[in-house]
Structure 1
Amino acid sequence: MAGAQTQAMLEKMELRQSYRNVWHTDLTNAVAADLPWCCLSLWCGPCVSYMLRRRALYNDMSRYVCCAGYMPCSGKCGESRCPEVCLATEVFCCFGNSVASTRFLLQDEFNIQTTQCDNCIIAFMFFLQQLACICSLVACIVGNSELSEVAHVISCMSNLVYWTVCSCMQVIAHPLLIHVSSGIQVIPFLIKTHNLAYIALQTSDAAQGGDGQEGRHVEHHVCAPDAADVALVNVRACE
């Protein structure tokens, strides 16, 4: 069973390399893209992670699975009985996994790839964490005070990079998830600038048309990085 789960995760990782859509911004520009939200994600990371996951699930907590189904513990924590408590536990006790799981969930749903620059930043974060762990172990075994100070500095750097990357990941997910709350469906597509634009489809009951058929009012909100590309089109689709 564990081998099958590992194989499925590897296949998903390979599949993400073929995704064609990209985020509206990358990790290097996330702070400039939305500084207030970045600060909120930095100081209140678990609360922001909780809110973003709920939005990613379209506020339907019956769909919640621990770590969005990407970890071995997923589906084995009694999530169906009390999903709100399980999600709160996840974001506070496994914060990094909660942020990464929401990111993976959005990538798989909207076919969003990770840029090479983002991959390098994430890999550098993991490298610093492993280096800090190794240095701390060596310093503990050797008992050298200077090595302990070096290990402490590397550990501080690792924590700084970790919290910064996690907050930037949540900044990247925020604009997309604004449009999936309250039952709004989001469909991504590519535009010429190769940034992620998206259409928010919001349906509501409409009065009967002239043909006597019941219809629905559909608003297409086309969002793009360039304000000149933003359009709003109202159509009526008869059922």
Structure 2
Amino acid sequence: MSMASQDHLDKMKMRQNYRNLWHTNLVNSIGADPAYCCLAVWCAPCVSYLLRKRALYNDMSRYVCCAGYMPCSGRCGESRCPEFCLCTEVFLCFGNSVASTRFLLQDEFNIQTTQCDNCIIGFMFCLQQIACIFSLVAMIVGSDEISEASQLLSCLADFVYCTVCACMQTQHKVEMDKRDGKFGPQPVMAVPPVQQMSRFDQPVPPTIGYPPQPPPPAYGQPYGYPQQGYPPAGYPPAGSAYPPPGSAYPTPGYPK
């Protein structure tokens, strides 16, 4: 295995340790923005173009083909004509364009993918593979029954693919709405530099747009209680004598 492939695997494993979550998961993304989900179904490449540009803070000088996650990234002349290269990417490599925008947001905001989302995405890929296998078997065997089954599986796989991609793009849009403060006060943040927007340039991405976690209290300090000394400062008072004058010590009745 080459060093580049091993680096890719290490970065994929690192994503499993991210601690933030998507604002909405794939199941609830349709309800989060139904109109945008419908737009993502019927105009999927256009939506992918707009989402990638928005993920780059509308600064196309940051654009790299497939967000730097593919072997072709940086080798397609993106710096000379980024808009044309992005159009080519979303139309010719639509699936990669959606996945790259997803990885870009995950690595920028330290977002993990839930097991439910992983199951949905995995089911989509498995269904596509099964449909492809049935098509090859039908072509080799020449059976009408297998051919009809392969066509049904292909239609089902295409339907699931289009639906899941639309939900993913809606999920990305809602997450950037959160980033831009459309759900409440916008957090104080700055546009990250280019190297912070790629998972290959940093071991742990920053948590931009998410409130920092408060540090744990010092050992021995209970939550919510001010620090106190024992005995309190200034005790006993200056000039005072102990025991007070006039008092008997030991007290009467104390056994001698």
Aligned residue for 2:137? 138
Q: What TM-score results when the alignment is normalised by the length of structure 2?
A: 0.70
What do the CA deviations read for 1:132-170 (whole angstroms, capped 9, x no partner)?
111101100111111000000000110011011100011
**Do the aligned partners of 2:23 and 2:178 also contact (CA within 8 Å) in 1?**
no
Query: Partners of 2:166 and 2:48 in 1: how far apart?
Result: 9
Aligned-CA RMSD value: 2.4
Mean Cα deviation higher: 100-109 or 26-35:
26-35
- Cα offset for 1:175? 2.2
Q: Which has the higher contact order (CA 8 A, sep 6+)?
A: 2
Q: Which of the pair is proportionally richer in strand?
A: 1
Q: Residue 76 in 1 paired to residue 69 in 2?
A: no
Query: Partners of 1:3 and 1:84 in 2: how far apart?
Result: 32
Aligned residue for 1:87? 86
- Cα offset for 1:9? 1.7
**Do the aligned partners of 1:66 and 1:87 also contact (CA within 8 Å) in 2?**
yes
What amino acid is the match of 1:13? M
Q: What TM-score results when the alignment is normalised by the length of structure 1?
A: 0.75
Report the CA distance shift for 1:199/1:19 in structure 2 as closer, same or farther (over 3 A). Answer: farther
- Cα offset for 1:131? 0.5
Consecutive aligned runs of 4 or more in structure 1 exceeding 6 Å deviation: none
Mean Cα deviation higher: 5-14 or 33-42:
5-14
Aligned residue for 1:165? 164
Aligned residue for 2:55? 56
**Do the aligned partners of 1:5 and 1:72 also contact (CA within 8 Å) in 2?**
no
What amino acid is the match of 1:59? N
Percentage of matched positions with identical amino acids? 63
Match of 2:188 among 183, 201, 204: 201
Query: For 1:213-224, what aligned pairs fall within 5 Å after superposition?
Result: none
Report the CA distance shift for 1:22/1:198 in structure 2 as closer, same or farther (over 3 A). Answer: farther
- Cα offset for 1:109? 0.5
Query: Partners of 1:17 and 1:98 in 2: how far apart?
Result: 21
Aligned residue for 2:7? 8
Over alpha carbons, which structure has the higher Rg?
A: 2
**Do the aligned partners of 1:55 and 1:178 also contact (CA within 8 Å) in 2?**
no
- May I ask how many residue pairs the two structures share in their alignment? 192
**Do the aligned partners of 1:66 and 1:74 also contact (CA within 8 Å) in 2?**
yes
Report the CA distance shift for 1:117/1:153 in structure 2 as closer, same or farther (over 3 A). Answer: same
**Do the aligned partners of 2:33 and 2:170 also contact (CA within 8 Å) in 1?**
yes
Report the CA distance shift for 1:59/1:161 in structure 2 as closer, same or farther (over 3 A). Answer: same
Q: Which of the pair is proportionally richer in helix?
A: 1
Unaligned ranges ≥5, structure 2 = 191-208, 212-256
Query: Partners of 2:163 and 2:138 in 1: how far apart?
Result: 26
Query: Partners of 2:176 and 2:56 in 1: how far apart?
Result: 10
- Cα offset for 1:46? 0.5
Report the CA distance shift for 1:222/1:11 in structure 2 as closer, same or farther (over 3 A). Answer: closer
Q: Residue 117 in 1 paired to residue 127 in 2?
A: no
Unaligned ranges ≥5, structure 1 = 187-195, 204-220, 224-239
Aligned residue for 2:25? 26
